[in-house]
Amino acid sequence: MSIVKDMSLAPSGHQKIRWVRDFMPALSGIEERFRREKPFAGLTIAVSVHLEAKTANLGLVLREGGADVHLTGCNPLSTQDDVAAAMADLGVDTYGVYGVDMAGYENLLVETLKCRPHLIVDDGGDLISLLGDRCNQYGERLIGGCEETTTGIHRLYARQRAGILPCPMMAVNDAKAKHYYDNKYGTGQSTMDAIMHTTNLMVAGKTVVVAGYGWCGKGIAMRAKGMGANVIVCEVDPFKALEATMENFRVMPMDQAARLGDLFITATGCKDIIVKRHFQVMKDNALLCNSGHFDCEVDVAALGEMAAERFDRRANIRGYRLPDGRTLNVLAEGRLVNLAAGNGHPAEIMDMSFAVQALSLEWLAKHRGELEKKVYNVPDEIDDQIGRVKLAAMGLAIDELTQEQRDYLAGWEA
């Protein structure tokens, strides 16, 4: 039932999956318990996350828990064809082909949903969007689902307010193990790694403009600063802008920063962050990329209309030569640069994020029939459990409160 590019690529995919499994101890511990307890026996799970080795590991863990797993991507440029082939070879129904157009990408999502899932894992809201519209006939068995990204959770709350959320959803992105750890440290490292690998250029000495100072933007700015860049932050939130200032970053509107930057990285989850008026004043050979979920933060279409010539400069870099002779360079078509032009977050980071996914799905399965069609936060006990498992895997220990201290913190008498 799988749709992949080439099954002969499977050996390379198996190698990648074996590698990351050695560095994801929290998920390995969950897998061991799932193998014994089978919390998903009789349930079908559809997973739409960037289709690469760490996601494959999550799929295998869910299958060990008794689930019938159907796996697809959430971005046509982040799918790794060898990993997709490996998962199909392992008997997991997998629907993913690198580089398909948007119609082809949506078709792969629809094929995945034809399994009529009980549970879903979404990354950006594509599955929930289809289930709430043209694929609602495949949602009659839905128990609930999990959302991985900030952007996707914004969409969930919008659907909840409109009364059109198809099922209960867990805000996995808002878990401490996700936004403190994944969004900041994972995005920071993987974004800078992808940019350096793709461009083969220095970061030190460059002016790096980071649009958005949420958890992802904080991680990117921190890593760029650590590598010797002069970092400018652009924000709309006054307190995030103040925080960036206190961290010794320059803060200014994009209209000013556009003239100064050598490298621009968007991480806002919004649209039209870098647009035509910004392109008009940028330096020759400026680099533009996006680390927010969708490819609407840098207005690549407007840049294409402005350009006198478009040409490929390196793998994953498109040059746009403007009529005045300047060239602006867009990485990964304006899609998620850390995945479309890199390998995504490190395995140790995704270990925690996917542990949240696995345990949240188990929580939803245990509470089937009890939940309203709304967005739920990940319970603190799941978050804390993952944090402690991760500390133990790193050989670290922390203090514990005594009962007397707990009483002191909980009471008013003292």
Which position has the token pair 């790694």? 193
Residue 370: phi, psi to the nearest 5? -105, -10
The residues pairing with 169 across neighbouring beta strands, listed in sequence order, are 145, 375
Residue 55 to residue 87: CA distance in whole angstroms: 10
Q: Count of CB atoms within 10 A of residue 30's CB?
A: 26
Q: What is the dihedral of CA 149, 152, 158, 162, to 10 degrees?
A: -130
| Nearest CA-CA partner of 245 in 234, 260, 258 | 234
> Which DSSP state fits 332?
G
Tell me the binding residues. 149-151, 214-219, 235, 291-293, 338, 345
As annotated, the binding site for NAD(+) includes 149-151, 214-219, 235, 291-293, 338, 345
Residues 6+ apart with CB under 8 A from 125: 147, 149, 151, 152, 155, 156
**DSSP label at residue 178:** I
Which residues are paired to 71 by β-bridges? 47, 94
3-state class (DSSP) for residue 318 = strand
Query: Are 266 and 212 spatial neighbours (Cβ–Cβ below 8 Å)?
Result: yes
Per the CB < 8 A criterion, the answer to whether 142 and 361 are in contact is no
* Nearest-angstrom CA–CA distance, 414 and 409: 9
- The two tokens of residue 325 are 């002779």
Helix pair 25-37, 347-366: axis angle to 10 deg: 30
